[in-house]
């Protein structure tokens, strides 16, 4: 464009200088007028776009560790938003380096960093420092064995401030809830400065001994009165029993020491020989049900061919009426209750038995022996007393 014309418009500080400090941000129009030798004037319109100076800052100081691998400098050093389409160039000790920079090339020291940031037509820069230090040496406790009955176990690490992970562990404090972790060998991992170039990590194995693991003493037991001894069983078999009438080492219960219709609790305990005071116990209940006590009465009849009545006099509620069973000793039976009749065809001794069950399923029998005889007869030589007749006129 010929330069023998003149500029006009707002914010011109000199004939040919536009002053953005005065205009501020925005789109502005200015004009260039030129008159040729024939006296003709032409005008050219020019648009000036004034952009805001981008905000761009680096961290004053950043610390990284040796052997930390590659880092993205924009992510690690820049504190302001970096929009798409902008470019940032980094210099470490005045040497240009790529944005994705491998720290392994830097020895422990302090380095000056400069970044030049261009956004549109505007360019800004900022400076900072990075410190390269050696990675911290991680110290963890040795592998250990604990008893689940302790409830908790404290993991320690140096340096502190990292994070634990593993079954039942609190990430911040390193306290293990042993009951949540359960028995067995558990691995616990510790990470310090996770996700940074200074990240260090390690693990420790904790064996949680649980004597109750696979401890089995069977279900609660209830049975009817009769046996005089009961053998309790358990696995593993190296524990001891406690309870009324039981032999601690053998688990044999003297049932004569127990009352019927009473529940007794028996405890079985085993010790973990690998750890002192590490014990687990389980309990089971034993109940001996009493037997029903059947009784019956018969009428006074004892003669052949006559109907004899038997009546169950067992207290109601002490037996299940649906289980009544009569045996009359002559091959006949009945389930009637409470009264039942029977007749006998021949002279003999007969054992009559009444069997009942109670609501616990316990059975008992009561029996009586009866003598069935012939009826008495009147003989032909029977002498009658004399009869006196008084006549009155």
* pLDDT for 379: 56
Q: Write the pLDDT tens digit of every residue in 251-300.
A: 999 999 999 999 999 999 999 988 888 999 999 999 999 999 999 999 98
Q: Write the pLDDT tens digit of every residue in 125-148.
A: 999 999 999 989 999 999 999 999
Task: For tokens 């776009």, name the residue.
Answer: 49
Average pLDDT, the chain: 92
* pLDDT for 314: 97
Mean pLDDT of 66-93: 92
How far from chain centre, in Å, is Cα 283? Answer: 23
Long-range contacts of 20-29 (CB under 8 A, 24+ apart): 20/50, 23/48, 23/50, 24/50, 25/50, 25/51, 25/52, 26/50
* pLDDT for 390: 45
* pLDDT for 276: 87
* pLDDT for 131: 95
pLDDT class of 391 with cuts at 50, 70, 90: very low
Q: Which of 113, 126, 128, 114 is nearest to 57 (CA)?
A: 126
Query: Is the pLDDT score of 392 beyond 70?
Result: no
In the chain the first and final C-alpha atoms are separated, in Å, by: 193
Sign of CA dihedral 76, 82, 84, 90: negative
pLDDT class of 371 with cuts at 50, 70, 90: very high
How far from chain centre, in Å, is Cα 115? Answer: 53
* pLDDT for 385: 55
Query: Is the pLDDT score of 12 beyond 50?
Result: yes
Mean pLDDT of 61-66: 92
Q: Write the pLDDT tens digit of every residue in 307-356.
A: 999 999 999 999 999 999 999 999 999 999 999 999 999 999 999 999 99
Task: Please give the Cα distance from 98 to 62 (Å, whole number).
Answer: 17
How far from chain centre, in Å, is Cα 350? Answer: 67
* pLDDT for 178: 97
* pLDDT for 381: 53
Q: Is the backbone peptide bond immediately before 89 cis, with ω within 30 degrees of 0? A: no
Distances, alpha carbon 242 to alpha carbons 211, 248, 389, in Å: 17, 6, 93
Mean pLDDT of 50-55: 88
Query: How many other C-beta atoms are found inside a 10 Å radius of the C-beta of residue 80?
Result: 13
pLDDT greater at residue 24 or residue 220: 220
């Amino acid at each position: 464009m010929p330069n023998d014309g003149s500029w006009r418009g707002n914010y011109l500080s000199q004939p040919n200088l536009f002053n953005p400090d005065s205009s501020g941000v925005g789109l502005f129009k200015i004009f260039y007028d030129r008159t040729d030798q024939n006296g003709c004037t032409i005008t050219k319109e020019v648009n000036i776009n004034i952009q805001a100076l981008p905000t761009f800052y680096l961290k004053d100081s950043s610390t990284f560790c040796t052997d930390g691998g590659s880092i993205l400098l924009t992510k690690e050093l820049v504190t302001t938003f970096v929009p798409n389409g902008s470019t940032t160039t980094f210099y470490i000790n005045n040497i240009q380096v790529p944005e994705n920079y491998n720290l392994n090339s830097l020895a422990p020291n302090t380095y000056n960093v400069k970044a030049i940031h261009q956004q549109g037509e505007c360019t800004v820069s900022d400076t900072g420092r990075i410190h390269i230090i050696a990675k911290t040496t991680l110290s963890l406790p040795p592998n250990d064995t604990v008893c689940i009955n302790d409830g908790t176990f404290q993991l320690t690490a140096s340096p502190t401030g990292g994070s634990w992970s593993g079954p039942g562990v609190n990430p911040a404090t390193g306290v293990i809830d042993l009951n949540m972790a359960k028995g067995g060998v558990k691995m616990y991992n510790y990470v310090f400065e996770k996700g940074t170039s200074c990240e260090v990590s390690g693990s420790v194995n904790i064996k949680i001994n649980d004597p109750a693991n696979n401890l089995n003493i069977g279900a609660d037991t209830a049975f009817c009165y009769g046996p005089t001894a009961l053998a309790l069983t358990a696995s593993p078999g190296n524990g001891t029993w406690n309870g009324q009438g039981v032999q601690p080492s053998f688990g044999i219960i003297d049932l004569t020491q127990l009352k019927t219709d009473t529940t007794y609790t028996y405890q079985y305990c085993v010790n973990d020989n690998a750890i002192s005071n590490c014990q687990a116990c389980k309990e089971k209940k034993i109940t001996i049900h009493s037997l029903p006590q059947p009784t019956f009465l018969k009428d006074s009849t004892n003669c052949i061919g006559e109907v004899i009545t038997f009546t169950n006099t067992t207290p109601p509620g002490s037996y299940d009426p649906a289980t009544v069973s009569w045996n009359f000793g002559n091959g006949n039976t009945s389930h009637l209750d409470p009264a039942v009749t029977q007749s006998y065809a021949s002279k003999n001794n007969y054992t009559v038995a009444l069997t009942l069950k109670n609501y616990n399923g316990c059975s008992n029998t009561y029996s009586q022996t009866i003598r069935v005889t012939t009826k008495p007869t009147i003989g032909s030589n029977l002498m009658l007393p004399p009869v006196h007749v008084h006549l009155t006129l």
